[in-house]
Amino acid sequence: MKIVFSIICLFVGFSTVANADTVQLKQQGTKVNVSIDGKPFTTYNTGGSLPKPFFSPVRAADGTVITRSLVDPEDHPHHKGIWVAVDEVNEVDFWAEKGKIKNSSVKIIKASGNPAVLKVTNQWLGEDKKPIVTENTVISIYANRLMTYNITFKAGSKPVVFEDTKEGLFGIRLPNGMREKEEGSVENNTGIKGTKDNWGKPTEWIDYYGPLNGKVYGVTLMDSPQNYKKSRYHVRNYGLFTISPFGDHSYTNKKQPADPKHLNAGEKFNLKYGIYIHSGNTQQGKVADAYKQFLNVSKKKASPKKVSQKKPVKQQTKAKKVAAAPYEEKSKALEPIPASAAAATASDDCNCAPQQRRRGLFRRIRGRR
């Protein structure tokens, strides 16, 4: 009898351990809800009325939301949760939501585990409503709140140019309080601190942390050595935090030549990034260990792409005026959207602000941050 009782205890113990660090994905309509150990972590929003898919809200382990609210944003309403977008692709501005990124499918590859995994397919539409590029991204979500993005872009029926720009590609908008302009801090893997000295620089990772409700939380963005070139960080004192390979000229204030990415029709290329949500500062959040984890789990190389015999077709594009790299945000704040108006016009997927009116491609404002 004692032996049977011992076996039962062992079974219960193993079951508890197995379920303790489990990520669960549950699809509900145009949303994918993500929980960790049974508690809400984040939601992937893909509704057709949205200008692009994104994760929001995103929560720390104790439930604190560490992304800015989508209702009544004080500036830049296109900064939504965690997202993928860039300005500009074939002169279409997806960053500021002048071009639409339409989700065409979400496939849950692994609904429960550590990690749980989903694959999303998003079409980046041109003026003709046809995809300029198709984005296939495999997102792996780990119990310690590390998220890895394995992004593959495939050109449509025409050549594609990802222009040299600072506005992109993968990132997050942090809430007030965590921002450096208040009580937040920024540092990279070599110990360099501050947005001023980290903006536009290539490095393995940058951590951005600050207080919310009396506790400290942080977010780390990570670059992969497997990417076709080193990426740079668009990290601002007002809470914008992104990483992109597309801005050598812009990020260096014209010191380096522009290096746009050209694709032939049907050609692909791959990018890998990590984002890590943690409690405490960089050391307390064990960011260096999370980066090692990111390198380990993403070490499998992307499938080798076929070498095209055709020379990439370089499109003639107008030269862009490159803004300097200011330390303080100087753009004019947008008028807040009243909560009543947002509630009346927001989609069923999230508490996001209404889309702004689409303007012509050749009337874009170049002074965005």
Summarised one tens digit per residue, pLDDT across range 301-330 is 544 444 344 444 444 444 444 444 443 444
64 confidence band (pLDDT: 50, 70, 90): very high
Mean pLDDT for 15-19 is: 40
Phi, psi of 324 (to 5 degrees): -70, 175
Residue among 82, 77, 93, 80 nearest 167 (CA): 93
pLDDT score of 44 more than 90: yes
Structure tokens at 278: 């943690």
- Tell me the per-residue pLDDT of 207-244, one tens digit each, with 9 for 90 and over: 999 999 999 999 999 999 999 999 999 999 999 999 99
pLDDT score of 131 more than 70: yes
- Tell me the per-residue pLDDT of 272-291, one tens digit each, with 9 for 90 and over: 999 999 999 999 999 999 99
Instruction: Identify the residue with better confidence: 267 or 347.
Output: 267
User: pTM higher than 0.85, yes or no?
Assistant: no
Three-class DSSP category at 332: coil
20 confidence band (pLDDT: 50, 70, 90): low
Q: 113: part of which helix (H) or strand (E)?
A: strand 112-113
What's the pLDDT at 8?
Answer: 45
pLDDT score of 367 more than 50: no
Cα–Cα distance for residue pair 210/103, rounded to 1 Å: 33
Taking the CB of residue 294, how many other CB atoms lie within 10 A of it? 25
Taking the CB of residue 305, how many other CB atoms lie within 10 A of it? 12
List Cβ neighbours of 141 (8 Å cut-off, separation of 6 or more): 23, 25, 34, 41, 115, 116, 117, 147
Q: What percent of the chain has pLDDT over 70?
A: 76
Under 8 Å between Cβ of 43 and 70: no
The mean of the pLDDT values for the chain is 84
Three-class DSSP category at 19: helix
What's the pLDDT at 234?
Answer: 98
Under 8 Å between Cβ of 30 and 349: yes
pLDDT score of 139 more than 60: yes
pLDDT score of 196 more than 50: yes
pLDDT score of 198 more than 50: yes
H-type alpha helices, 100-252:
195-198, 248-251
Instruction: Identify the residue with better confidence: 244 or 360.
Output: 244
What's the pLDDT at 299?
Answer: 86
Taking the CB of residue 29, how many other CB atoms lie within 10 A of it? 9
∠ Cα 210 214 215 (to 5°): 55
Q: 119: part of which helix (H) or strand (E)?
A: strand 116-125
The 8 Å CB, 24+ separation contacts for 229-233 are 229/259, 230/202, 231/169, 231/202, 231/271, 231/273, 232/200, 232/201, 232/202, 233/198, 233/199, 233/200, 233/201, 233/203, 233/206
Residues 152-191, buried b or exposed e (16+ Cβ, 10 A)?
Answer: bbbbbeebbbbbbbbbbbbbbbbbeebbbeeebbbbbbee
